[in-house]
Amino acid sequence: MWKAVLTQLVLLGLLFALHIVFAVMDADTAFDLVAVGVSLQIICFGPLVVVTEGAPSRIQRRRTHRSTVFVSIPLAVGLGWAYAGMAWGWAEVLVCVAATIGVHFCLELALRDG
């Protein structure tokens, strides 16, 4: 599981670095595209780790998914902070955290027994 988490964090780091490069270059369209990628990577972090891990059993996928919440929520708070102009805007933070929790909740339902 940790290899999949690390893989997703490295990809996120690369996207983050790329968004900084595009910001410095004033490449607005490229910046916007990468920013969307960063946002999706953070909001869908748990499911992406589950897919990257490729565990064969539902129980292992569920365990992995539940473990990623502890990484996903802080990332979502940081995303909200970024959307608020790198200041604490509670609305932005709450929207990003709520979206992340919503995605996690949907996958949790999908991984239920039955």
Q: What is the pLDDT of residue 89?
A: 84
- Residue 52 contacts by C-beta under 8 Å, 6 or more apart in sequence? 4, 7, 8
Residue boundaries of the structural domains of the chain: 2-110
pLDDT tens track for 14-64: 999 999 999 999 999 999 999 999 999 999 999 999 999 988 899 899 999
Q: What is the pLDDT of residues 89-113, one digit of tens each?
A: 899 999 999 999 999 999 999 988 7
